[in-house]
Amino acid sequence: MVAVESGVAPQQDRDDVARRLLDSSETLSYDPTEEVDWDTPLDTSYHGASPEWSTLYGTSYWDEMSPEQQRELTRQEAASVASTGIWFEMILQQMVLRDFYAKDPTDPSFQWALTEIADECRHSIMFARGAAKLGAPAYRPNRVVVELGRLFKSVAFGESAYAAILVAEEVLDVMQRDWMRDERVAPFVRTINNIHVVEESRHMKFAREETKARLQGSGKLRRQVDALVVAIASYFIVTSMVNKDVYANAGLDPERAIREAKANEHHKSMMRSSCAGLMEFLNSAGLLTRSAMWFYKRANLI
Ligand SMILES: [Fe+2]
Ligand SMILES: [Fe+2]
């Protein structure tokens, strides 16, 4: 859809994209209640995520941990990422539903939007069951972030809503692509990640197209505001992914774990390198302003 960049996306192009997404969803969608092995009890000889993605991997604390502790930590971390995923998917569903309120139901984009909401609904149930099977408690962002999310889901619209959706989906995507292929990760978690990666690739396509289309003809000031709003939303989403309680729940000293995780250069560079493509997109959309960069740097996305 290169044409979109140089002018307003013709309605025909947007219809074609939505139609293709609908076709693809009809061909390849999953029912997690059937596909995921919910019945076999959790095998603790597996990780919950690729160890290299652990917030403590590469620290001296990690080296001191027993393999059992390392696996318990990645299981708690994976459950936390899934729980934050549920929180964000609820925000996303509401934003998309609001965006298409009372629009033309014969429009393929309208039907795609409802398809995406249905996907997210299944995903959230899947993540909820997955986190429970991993033996994790409810992990939620802190109170302030929960309230900021409540505000954002009620008022965000247009390109800022879709660009924020894209950032959250892309960040999750890069991790899950690694986890779904990793034989050290529990098989049921790999299935969950596989389902999510497949279905989210369509969502990301839609989010990119909507972001570009709605930015057409927008002035400098509007882009500055959009860029900042998206960067702040991204900052809170990304920094909420791994809840600080995971360390105590994995039997670690939370103070030391939080300190070492905060200073973990390995984890920061994993995040940065996996977000390179996303940052390139935001840059091409004019959403990587100076003030936005400040937040992306603080979230270690750039
Ligand atoms: Fe999802
Ligand atoms: Fe999604």
- Cα(85)–Cα(95) distance, integer angstroms: 15
The predicted-structure confidence for 95-134, as pLDDT tens digits, reads as follows: 999 999 999 999 999 999 999 999 999 999 999 999 999 9
The predicted-structure confidence for 185-210, as pLDDT tens digits, reads as follows: 999 999 999 999 999 999 999 999 99
Q: Is 3 part of a structural domain of the chain?
A: no
DSSP annotation of 8: P
Q: Is 64 part of a structural domain of the chain?
A: yes
Q: Is 32 part of a structural domain of the chain?
A: no
Phi-psi category of 135—alpha, beta or left, where left has phi over 0 and alpha has psi -120 to 50?
left
More confident residue, 2 or 114: 114
18 Cα to the center of ligand 2, angstroms: 15
Q: Return the pLDDT at 9.
A: 57
The predicted-structure confidence for 135-164, as pLDDT tens digits, reads as follows: 999 999 999 999 999 999 999 999 999 999
66 Cα to the center of ligand 1, angstroms: 33
Q: Ligand nearest 164 Cα, by number? A: 2
192 Cα to the center of ligand 2, angstroms: 14
CATH number assigned to the domain comprising residue 282: 1.10.620.20
Rg from Cα positions in the chain = 19
Q: How many domains is the chain partitioned into structurally?
A: 1
The predicted-structure confidence for 260-278, as pLDDT tens digits, reads as follows: 999 999 999 999 999 999 9
Q: Is 153 part of a structural domain of the chain?
A: yes
298 Cα to the center of ligand 2, angstroms: 24
pTM of the model: 0.94
193 Cα to the center of ligand 2, angstroms: 13
Q: Ligand nearest 84 Cα, by number? A: 1
48 Cα to the center of ligand 2, angstroms: 21
190 Cα to the center of ligand 2, angstroms: 18
Q: What is the largest CA-CA distance in the chain?
A: 59
Q: Which domain holds residue 275?
A: 45-299
Q: Is 281 part of a structural domain of the chain?
A: yes
Q: Is 37 part of a structural domain of the chain?
A: no
88 Cα to the center of ligand 1, angstroms: 9
Distances 42 to 75, 100, 130, 185, 247 between C-alpha atoms, Å: 10, 40, 10, 11, 20
pLDDT classification of 5: cutoffs 50, 70, 90: very low
- The SS3 of residue 185 is strand
Q: Is 110 part of a structural domain of the chain?
A: yes
| Residue 181 C-alpha from the chain's centroid | 18
pLDDT classification of 11: cutoffs 50, 70, 90: confident
Nearest to 273 by CA among 139, 170, 155: 170
- Cα(213)–Cα(245) distance, integer angstroms: 40
Question: Pseudo-torsion of CA 181, 185, 188, 191, nearest 10°?
Answer: -20
Q: Ligand nearest 201 Cα, by number? A: 2
Q: Return the pLDDT at 8.
A: 53
Q: Is 4 part of a structural domain of the chain?
A: no
